[in-house]
Protein backbone atom coordinates (compact mmCIF):
# COMPACT_ATOMS: atom_id res chain seq x y z
CA UNK A 1 0.00 0.00 0.00
CA UNK A 2 1.28 3.44 -0.92
CA UNK A 3 0.98 6.31 1.55
CA UNK A 4 2.20 9.90 1.53
CA UNK A 5 4.98 10.65 3.98
CA UNK A 6 6.26 14.01 5.23
CA UNK A 7 9.99 14.20 4.51
CA UNK A 8 10.62 17.85 5.41
CA UNK A 9 8.95 20.68 7.31
CA UNK A 10 9.67 24.41 7.33
CA UNK A 11 8.21 27.64 8.63
CA UNK A 12 8.71 31.36 8.60
CA UNK A 13 7.30 34.23 10.64
CA UNK A 14 8.06 37.92 10.03
CA UNK A 15 10.41 39.69 12.45
CA UNK A 16 7.97 42.37 13.61
CA UNK A 17 6.33 41.43 16.93
CA UNK A 18 3.05 43.14 17.83
CA UNK A 19 2.30 42.75 21.55
CA UNK A 20 -1.04 42.96 23.35
CA UNK A 21 0.27 46.08 25.07
CA UNK A 22 0.64 47.80 21.69
CA UNK A 23 -2.92 46.79 20.74
CA UNK A 24 -4.13 48.30 24.04
CA UNK A 25 -3.08 51.65 22.57
CA UNK A 26 -5.19 51.17 19.41
CA UNK A 27 -8.50 49.79 20.79
CA UNK A 28 -10.33 49.45 24.11
CA UNK A 29 -8.87 46.15 25.31
CA UNK A 30 -6.28 44.84 27.77
CA UNK A 31 -3.45 42.37 27.80
CA UNK A 32 -5.16 40.42 30.59
CA UNK A 33 -8.49 40.16 28.63
CA UNK A 34 -6.73 38.92 25.52
CA UNK A 35 -4.57 36.37 27.37
CA UNK A 36 -7.49 35.10 29.47
CA UNK A 37 -9.97 34.79 26.55
CA UNK A 38 -7.60 33.61 23.81
CA UNK A 39 -4.15 32.65 25.16
CA UNK A 40 -2.50 35.10 22.74
CA UNK A 41 0.34 37.33 24.00
CA UNK A 42 1.79 38.58 20.74
CA UNK A 43 1.66 38.01 17.00
CA UNK A 44 3.91 38.66 13.97
CA UNK A 45 3.21 41.26 11.31
CA UNK A 46 4.62 41.11 7.76
CA UNK A 47 6.74 44.01 6.51
CA UNK A 48 5.11 46.29 3.91
CA UNK A 49 7.33 44.68 1.27
CA UNK A 50 6.23 41.11 2.12
CA UNK A 51 3.28 39.36 0.47
CA UNK A 52 2.03 35.81 1.10
CA UNK A 53 4.35 34.32 -1.56
CA UNK A 54 7.39 35.87 0.20
CA UNK A 55 6.48 34.19 3.48
CA UNK A 56 5.68 30.96 1.63
CA UNK A 57 9.06 31.12 -0.12
CA UNK A 58 11.02 31.21 3.16
CA UNK A 59 9.01 28.32 4.63
CA UNK A 60 9.33 26.27 1.43
CA UNK A 61 13.11 26.80 1.24
CA UNK A 62 13.48 25.55 4.78
CA UNK A 63 11.32 22.46 4.07
CA UNK A 64 13.28 21.68 0.88
CA UNK A 65 16.55 21.92 2.78
CA UNK A 66 15.36 19.50 5.46
CA UNK A 67 14.02 17.11 2.81
CA UNK A 68 17.37 17.39 0.99
CA UNK A 69 15.61 18.16 -2.26
CA UNK A 70 15.99 20.83 -4.91
CA UNK A 71 13.03 22.91 -6.10
CA UNK A 72 13.21 21.23 -9.51
CA UNK A 73 12.46 17.87 -7.81
CA UNK A 74 8.92 19.03 -6.99
CA UNK A 75 6.10 18.02 -9.33
CA UNK A 76 3.25 19.76 -7.49
CA UNK A 77 2.90 22.88 -5.34
CA UNK A 78 -0.26 23.58 -3.35
CA UNK A 79 -0.55 26.86 -1.45
CA UNK A 80 -3.38 27.11 1.06
CA UNK A 81 -4.21 30.77 1.60
CA UNK A 82 -7.07 33.25 1.84
CA UNK A 83 -4.72 36.24 1.75
CA UNK A 84 -2.78 35.48 -1.44
CA UNK A 85 -0.71 38.08 -3.26
CA UNK A 86 -3.54 38.83 -5.76
CA UNK A 87 -6.64 37.09 -7.23
CA UNK A 88 -4.50 35.73 -10.06
CA UNK A 89 -1.97 34.46 -10.87
CA UNK A 90 -2.13 32.12 -7.94
CA UNK A 91 0.25 32.55 -5.04
CA UNK A 92 1.39 28.99 -5.80
CA UNK A 93 2.52 30.07 -9.30
CA UNK A 94 4.32 33.11 -7.86
CA UNK A 95 6.00 30.80 -5.36
CA UNK A 96 6.93 28.36 -8.11
CA UNK A 97 8.73 31.17 -9.97
CA UNK A 98 10.55 32.34 -6.84
CA UNK A 99 11.71 28.81 -6.07
CA UNK A 100 12.58 27.95 -9.68
CA UNK A 101 10.40 24.83 -9.38
CA UNK A 102 10.07 24.52 -13.13
CA UNK A 103 8.83 20.90 -13.14
CA UNK A 104 5.86 21.52 -10.85
CA UNK A 105 2.21 22.29 -11.46
CA UNK A 106 0.99 24.87 -8.97
CA UNK A 107 -2.37 25.98 -7.61
CA UNK A 108 -3.96 27.68 -4.61
CA UNK A 109 -6.48 26.14 -2.29
CA UNK A 110 -8.92 28.16 -0.20
CA UNK A 111 -10.39 26.64 2.94
CA UNK A 112 -9.46 29.40 5.41
CA UNK A 113 -7.91 28.04 8.62
CA UNK A 114 -8.46 24.42 7.50
CA UNK A 115 -6.63 25.09 4.20
CA UNK A 116 -3.35 23.39 5.08
CA UNK A 117 -5.00 20.11 6.13
CA UNK A 118 -7.23 20.31 3.03
CA UNK A 119 -3.94 20.64 1.10
CA UNK A 120 -2.54 17.55 2.84
CA UNK A 121 -5.73 15.68 1.88
CA UNK A 122 -5.37 16.60 -1.80
CA UNK A 123 -1.61 15.94 -1.87
CA UNK A 124 -1.98 12.64 -0.06
CA UNK A 125 -4.64 11.53 -2.56
CA UNK A 126 -2.46 12.55 -5.51
CA UNK A 127 0.46 10.57 -4.11
CA UNK A 128 -1.60 7.50 -3.23
CA UNK A 129 -3.05 7.44 -6.74
CA UNK A 130 0.45 7.69 -8.26
CA UNK A 131 -0.32 10.97 -10.05
CA UNK A 132 2.37 12.97 -8.22
CA UNK A 133 5.59 12.02 -6.46
CA UNK A 134 7.02 15.06 -4.70
CA UNK A 135 4.50 17.58 -3.43
CA UNK A 136 5.07 20.84 -1.57
CA UNK A 137 2.11 21.93 0.57
CA UNK A 138 2.29 25.41 2.08
CA UNK A 139 -0.03 27.39 4.33
CA UNK A 140 0.76 31.11 4.05
CA UNK A 141 -1.19 34.13 5.27
CA UNK A 142 -0.83 37.88 5.64
CA UNK A 143 -4.00 38.40 7.67
CA UNK A 144 -2.77 41.72 9.08
CA UNK A 145 -3.61 43.38 5.73
CA UNK A 146 -7.28 42.37 6.07
CA UNK A 147 -7.67 43.02 9.78
CA UNK A 148 -9.86 45.91 10.95
CA UNK A 149 -7.52 47.54 13.44
CA UNK A 150 -10.48 49.41 14.97
CA UNK A 151 -12.45 46.22 15.73
CA UNK A 152 -11.32 44.92 19.11
CA UNK A 153 -13.18 41.64 18.70
CA UNK A 154 -11.03 40.56 15.73
CA UNK A 155 -7.81 42.63 15.64
CA UNK A 156 -6.45 40.89 18.72
CA UNK A 157 -6.66 37.46 17.11
CA UNK A 158 -4.70 37.34 13.87
CA UNK A 159 -1.06 37.18 12.81
CA UNK A 160 1.08 36.53 9.73
CA UNK A 161 3.29 33.56 8.84
CA UNK A 162 3.85 30.49 6.68
CA UNK A 163 4.53 26.80 7.15
CA UNK A 164 5.39 24.10 4.62
CA UNK A 165 5.81 20.34 4.24
CA UNK A 166 7.17 18.13 1.48
CA UNK A 167 5.53 14.80 0.80
CA UNK A 168 6.63 11.74 -1.12
CA UNK A 169 5.30 8.18 -1.49
CA UNK A 170 6.27 5.42 0.89
CA UNK A 171 5.40 1.74 1.22
CA UNK A 172 6.23 1.79 4.93
CA UNK A 173 3.70 1.96 7.79
CA UNK A 174 4.94 5.47 8.59
CA UNK A 175 3.20 8.34 6.88
CA UNK A 176 -0.21 9.97 6.63
CA UNK A 177 -2.70 7.31 7.74
CA UNK A 178 -5.82 9.28 7.04
CA UNK A 179 -7.12 12.74 6.22
CA UNK A 180 -10.69 13.99 6.64
CA UNK A 181 -12.25 17.17 5.27
CA UNK A 182 -15.69 18.68 5.90
CA UNK A 183 -17.59 21.88 5.24
CA UNK A 184 -20.90 23.61 5.91
CA UNK A 185 -21.58 26.56 3.63
CA UNK A 186 -24.81 27.30 5.50
CA UNK A 187 -22.65 28.84 8.22
CA UNK A 188 -20.61 30.97 5.78
CA UNK A 189 -21.66 34.17 7.52
CA UNK A 190 -19.86 33.33 10.77
CA UNK A 191 -16.42 34.29 9.40
CA UNK A 192 -15.93 36.11 6.13
CA UNK A 193 -14.00 38.68 4.17
CA UNK A 194 -16.90 39.92 2.03
CA UNK A 195 -15.21 42.43 -0.28
CA UNK A 196 -12.79 42.15 -3.15
CA UNK A 197 -14.39 39.30 -5.09
CA UNK A 198 -17.15 39.27 -7.71
CA UNK A 199 -19.78 39.61 -4.96
CA UNK A 200 -18.54 43.06 -3.89
CA UNK A 201 -15.68 44.18 -6.12
CA UNK A 202 -13.56 47.00 -4.73
CA UNK A 203 -15.32 50.37 -4.90
CA UNK A 204 -15.53 53.51 -2.80
CA UNK A 205 -18.65 52.03 -1.18
CA UNK A 206 -17.04 48.69 -0.27
CA UNK A 207 -14.14 50.54 1.30
CA UNK A 208 -16.43 52.83 3.31
CA UNK A 209 -18.41 49.79 4.47
CA UNK A 210 -15.13 48.08 5.49
CA UNK A 211 -15.96 45.03 3.39
CA UNK A 212 -12.26 44.35 2.81
CA UNK A 213 -11.78 43.39 6.44
CA UNK A 214 -12.39 40.11 8.24
CA UNK A 215 -15.84 39.92 9.86
CA UNK A 216 -16.44 37.31 12.52
CA UNK A 217 -19.30 36.38 14.83
CA UNK A 218 -16.77 35.33 17.46
CA UNK A 219 -18.94 33.83 20.13
CA UNK A 220 -21.11 31.78 17.76
CA UNK A 221 -17.98 30.61 15.91
CA UNK A 222 -16.42 29.66 19.22
CA UNK A 223 -19.36 27.44 20.20
CA UNK A 224 -19.50 25.66 16.84
CA UNK A 225 -15.69 25.25 16.85
CA UNK A 226 -15.60 23.60 20.28
CA UNK A 227 -18.33 21.10 19.42
CA UNK A 228 -17.02 20.35 15.95
CA UNK A 229 -13.36 19.93 16.90
CA UNK A 230 -14.13 17.70 19.88
CA UNK A 231 -16.15 15.38 17.62
CA UNK A 232 -13.60 15.57 14.80
CA UNK A 233 -10.71 14.50 17.04
CA UNK A 234 -12.64 11.57 18.51
CA UNK A 235 -13.92 10.51 15.12
CA UNK A 236 -10.48 10.62 13.45
CA UNK A 237 -8.97 8.41 16.15
CA UNK A 238 -11.92 6.00 15.97
CA UNK A 239 -11.60 5.73 12.17
CA UNK A 240 -7.96 4.68 12.69
CA UNK A 241 -8.88 2.34 15.55
CA UNK A 242 -6.53 4.28 17.81
CA UNK A 243 -7.08 4.75 21.52
CA UNK A 244 -6.56 8.42 22.55
CA UNK A 245 -4.01 7.22 25.12
CA UNK A 246 -1.77 6.13 22.22
CA UNK A 247 -1.68 9.63 20.76
CA UNK A 248 1.76 11.24 21.19
CA UNK A 249 0.91 14.77 20.14
CA UNK A 250 -2.14 16.80 19.15
CA UNK A 251 -1.28 19.71 16.85
CA UNK A 252 -4.42 21.83 16.71
CA UNK A 253 -5.18 24.99 14.76
CA UNK A 254 -4.06 27.81 17.05
CA UNK A 255 -7.22 29.96 17.14
CA UNK A 256 -8.11 30.04 20.83
CA UNK A 257 -6.51 28.32 23.83
CA UNK A 258 -9.92 27.57 25.34
CA UNK A 259 -11.04 25.72 22.21
CA UNK A 260 -7.81 23.68 22.27
CA UNK A 261 -8.21 22.86 25.98
CA UNK A 262 -11.78 21.67 25.37
CA UNK A 263 -10.61 19.23 22.67
CA UNK A 264 -7.81 17.91 24.90
CA UNK A 265 -10.24 17.43 27.77
CA UNK A 266 -12.72 15.51 25.59
CA UNK A 267 -9.90 13.15 24.50
CA UNK A 268 -8.59 12.84 28.07
CA UNK A 269 -5.28 14.16 26.77
CA UNK A 270 -2.91 15.97 29.19
CA UNK A 271 -1.90 19.43 27.92
CA UNK A 272 1.76 18.33 27.65
CA UNK A 273 0.61 16.20 24.70
CA UNK A 274 -0.79 19.26 22.96
CA UNK A 275 1.46 21.56 20.94
CA UNK A 276 0.88 25.25 21.63
CA UNK A 277 2.42 28.34 20.06
CA UNK A 278 -0.71 30.52 20.02
CA UNK A 279 0.88 32.74 22.68
CA UNK A 280 3.59 33.81 20.17
CA UNK A 281 1.74 33.98 16.86
CA UNK A 282 -2.04 34.17 17.43
CA UNK A 283 -4.26 32.77 14.68
CA UNK A 284 -2.32 32.57 11.41
CA UNK A 285 -5.16 30.74 9.60
CA UNK A 286 -3.82 28.22 7.05
CA UNK A 287 -0.27 28.76 8.31
CA UNK A 288 -1.07 27.83 11.89
CA UNK A 289 -0.89 24.00 11.74
CA UNK A 290 2.25 23.75 9.53
CA UNK A 291 4.13 26.34 11.63
CA UNK A 292 3.23 24.36 14.76
CA UNK A 293 4.23 21.08 13.10
CA UNK A 294 7.61 22.48 12.06
CA UNK A 295 8.26 23.83 15.57
CA UNK A 296 7.21 20.52 17.14
CA UNK A 297 9.73 18.71 14.91
CA UNK A 298 12.47 21.29 15.69
CA UNK A 299 11.80 20.95 19.44
CA UNK A 300 12.03 17.15 19.22
CA UNK A 301 8.43 16.76 20.36
CA UNK A 302 7.83 14.13 17.64
CA UNK A 303 9.81 10.87 17.38
CA UNK A 304 9.79 8.09 14.80
CA UNK A 305 6.71 5.88 15.30
CA UNK A 306 4.69 8.56 17.16
CA UNK A 307 1.02 9.08 16.37
CA UNK A 308 0.33 12.76 15.64
CA UNK A 309 -3.13 14.24 15.14
CA UNK A 310 -3.60 17.50 13.19
CA UNK A 311 -6.93 19.33 13.23
CA UNK A 312 -8.30 22.69 12.16
CA UNK A 313 -11.51 24.70 11.88
CA UNK A 314 -12.22 27.90 9.99
CA UNK A 315 -14.18 30.04 7.59
CA UNK A 316 -16.50 28.33 5.14
CA UNK A 317 -17.22 26.79 7.54
CA UNK A 318 -14.57 24.15 7.01
CA UNK A 319 -12.91 21.65 9.29
CA UNK A 320 -10.31 18.97 8.72
CA UNK A 321 -8.00 16.47 10.40
CA UNK A 322 -5.07 14.21 9.61
CA UNK A 323 -3.61 11.28 11.52
CA UNK A 324 0.09 10.74 10.94
CA UNK A 325 2.34 7.86 12.03
CA UNK A 326 5.68 9.70 12.17
The answer to whether 42 and 207 are in contact (CB under 8 A) is no
Instruction: Report the residue number, 177 or 222, with the smaller CB distance to ligand ACO.
Output: 222
Asked if 222 touches ligand ACO (CB under 6 A), the answer is yes
From residue 215, give the alpha-carbon distance in Å to each of 147, 256, 297.
Answer: 9, 17, 34
Window contacting ligand ACO (CB under 6 A); options: 70-78, 197-205, 237-245, 312-320: 312-320
Binding piece for ligand ACO, criterion CB under 6 A, among 73-81, 127-135, 175-183, 307-315:
307-315
Among the candidate windows 33-41, 53-61, 90-98, 195-203, which touches ligand ACO by CB under 6 A?
A: 33-41
Beta strands in the chain (DSSP E): 3-12, 16-19, 42-45, 76-80, 105-109, 135-142, 160-170, 175-183, 191-192, 215-216, 249-252, 307-314, 318-325
Instruction: Return the axis-axis angle of helices 288-298 and 115-129, rounded to nearest 10°.
Output: 80
Nearer to ligand ACO, 222 or 307 (CB): 222
> 73: number of CA atoms within 13 Å, CB side?
14
Q: 175-183 and 135-142: which strand pairing?
A: unpaired
253 an active-site residue?
A: yes
What is the Cα–Cα distance from 164 to 56, expressed in whole angstroms?
A: 7
The radius of gyration of the chain's CA atoms, rounded to the nearest angstrom, is 19
Among the residue ranges 5-13, 178-186, 202-210, 311-319, the one whose residues contact ligand ACO (CB under 6 A): 311-319
Q: Which of 20, 256, 277, 283 is catalytic?
A: 283
- 153 binds ligand ACO per the rule CB under 6 A: yes
**Of residues 93, 253, 256, 277, which has the active-site annotation?**
253
Closer to ligand ACO at the Cβ: 50 or 114?
Answer: 114
DSSP state of 158: B
256 in contact with ligand ACO (CB under 6 A): yes
CB of 132 to ligand ACO, least distance (A): 27
| Cα 322 from Cα 246, distance rounded (Å) | 15
In whole angstroms, what is the distance from residue 268 CA to residue 225 CA? 18
Size of the site for ligand ACO (CB under 6 A): 24
14, 58 in Cβ contact below 8 A? no
Is 121 among the catalytic positions?
no
Report in angstroms how near the CB of residue 111 gets to ligand ACO at its nearest. 9
Q: Which of 141, 8, 154 is nearest to 67 (CA)?
A: 8
CB count, 10 Å around CB of 205?
10
* Position 29 contacts ligand ACO (CB under 6 A): yes
User: Residue 189: beta bridge partners?
Assistant: none
Q: Whole-number minimum distance, CB 155 to ligand ACO, in Å?
A: 8
Which x/- pattern over 113-152 shows residues binding ligand ACO (rule: CB under 6 A)? x--------------------------------------x
Residues comprising the chain, all counted:
326
- By CB under 6 A, is residue 315 in contact with ligand ACO? yes
Q: Which x/- pattern over 60-89 shows residues binding ligand ACO (rule: CB under 6 A)?
A: ------------------------------
Contact with ligand ACO (CB under 6 A): which of 62, 90, 221, 263?
221
Given 113, 121, 132, 155, which residue is catalytic?
Answer: 113
Q: What is the separation, in whole angstroms, between the first and last Cα of the chain?
A: 17
Query: Applying CB under 6 A, which residues contact ligand ACO?
Result: 29, 33-34, 37-38, 112-113, 152-153, 156, 191, 218-219, 221-222, 225, 255-256, 259, 283, 285, 313-315
Q: Which residues are catalytic?
A: 113, 253, 283
Amino acid sequence: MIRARIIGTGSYVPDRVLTNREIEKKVDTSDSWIVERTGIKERRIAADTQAASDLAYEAALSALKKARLKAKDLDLIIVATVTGDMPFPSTACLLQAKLGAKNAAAFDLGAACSGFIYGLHVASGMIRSGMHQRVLVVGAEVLSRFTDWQDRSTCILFGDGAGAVILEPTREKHGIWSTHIYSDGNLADLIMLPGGGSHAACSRETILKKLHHIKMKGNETFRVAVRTLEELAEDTLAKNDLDPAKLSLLIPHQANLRIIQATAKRLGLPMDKVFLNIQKYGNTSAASVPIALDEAVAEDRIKGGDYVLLEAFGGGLTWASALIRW
